[in-house]
Structure 1
Amino acid sequence: MRLVVDANILMQILKVGGRNDLKCPRTGKVIDNPEGRAEALLDLMTAKADRILIPSPALSEILVRVDQHLHREYLAAINSTARFDLINFDAISAISCAQLVNSAELKQLKGDSDRSKISFDRQIIAMTQAYGGDELWTHDKDMLKKAEAVGIVVKSLADVASNMRQIDLMEESNPGEVVSIDSRRR
């Protein structure tokens, strides 16, 4: 499975010191323990051999929040993690992106900041399509609406239990014993 992460999820995964008041894009409720949920998400992805696709615009949003001398360290951390793949905004992504913005949306844009925001969001959605992303992980409710409107499955850290841990496959049990998943949570 290929999971595309937006900047607000990537901040938690990379422990950039992002927001701790992330809200579920569906309910608007603050999500408890976003760091723990991000760790649980990584554990789940690792257990299932999932790929985490990091769009270059999302990475850019992260890098502007940290000191410039740390940019190479973050890139090294991403490049050294086998599950992470950086994806670039290429020609196929550009075509997908252009097709996402309709004329009604263009008329509703108020200024340059709106155009920039819609541009980054649309680029990430287009990249999800172009690179065959199975899910888009974000906390941006506008991105959620647009991505779902074009058929992309959208999830957030609210979809991950905050107290999960990776299952220990070497855990002893009696043959034929049924072990509930709840007994394996912290």
Structure 2
Amino acid sequence: MAVVFDASVLIDLFNKKLSGDRRSRLDHLVASLAKQRTKVLIPSPALAEFLVKAGKAKEGYLNEIRRHGSFVIEPFDQRAAIECALLLAEAWARSQKGKVTHTKFKFDWQIVAIAASRNATAIYSDDPDISRAASRVNISVHRTDDLPIPSSALQRAIPFDEPDT
């Protein structure tokens, strides 16, 4: 089984300052996927978008991705290009035309085409354009804020004694 992480998830996942529920959700997701031995595919267009925002930390992030046993960087290769062409021809001719720029449109579809050509079962993304594109090929998309919070991270209520009256 394989899933895909897009740039929006990678940016948060590697953000050392991220904390709270969002951090707990992402850490729990990565741990759960690793435990299930699920491959986490990182499409090369998503990796490029992530690295653009990484600044000087990009080499360190690349090393972390390479060392992580579950992460696999997937190229936009011939298989993905064929998938993308089929998807783009249909979608560009329809309602999507005019809603997004041609460049953004193609970039998002490359990510979805890589997911489809690798038989990914889900895409983790906070990008609504990725979600719309993935729905056309029946790949489910999960937003970070919709992921479960692990029970270990849930805030527990502090019991207070009732005042004596």
Alignment TM-score, normalising by the size of structure 2: 0.80
Select 2:84's aligned residue among 82, 85, 97.
97
SS class of match (2:101): helix
Contact 2:45 / 2:107 at 8 angstroms: preserved in 1? yes
Contact 1:137 / 1:154 at 8 angstroms: preserved in 2? yes
Structure 2 CA distance, aligned partners of 1:15 and 1:40? 15
Structure 2 CA distance, aligned partners of 1:2 and 1:55? 12
Number of the residue aligned with 2:46: 58
Contact 1:15 / 1:35 at 8 angstroms: preserved in 2? no
Contact 1:147 / 1:153 at 8 angstroms: preserved in 2? yes
Number of the residue aligned with 2:103: 116
Do structure 1's residue 142 and structure 2's residue 142 form an aligned pair? no
Identity between Structure 1 and Structure 2 (%): 28
- Give ranges in structure 1 of 5+ residues lacking alignment: 21-31, 166-181
Structure 2 CA distance, aligned partners of 1:164 and 1:85? 29
- Give ranges in structure 2 of 5+ residues lacking alignment: 155-165
Aligned residues: 152
Shift of 1:17: 5.9
Deviation per CA, 1:116-147, whole angstroms, max 9, x where unpaired? 11111000000001112111111112221221
Number of the residue aligned with 2:22: 34
Shift of 1:64: 0.8
Structure having the larger proportion of residues in helix: 2
Contact 2:116 / 2:137 at 8 angstroms: preserved in 1? no
Deviation per CA, 1:139-164, whole angstroms, max 9, x where unpaired? 11222122112111222223322234
Structure 2 CA distance, aligned partners of 1:36 and 1:17? 13
Contact 2:122 / 2:141 at 8 angstroms: preserved in 1? yes
Deviates more, 1:83-92 or 1:97-106: 97-106
SS class of match (1:99): helix
Aligned-residue CA RMSD (Å): 2.6
Select 1:76's aligned residue among 59, 63, 66.
63
Number of the residue aligned with 2:114: 127
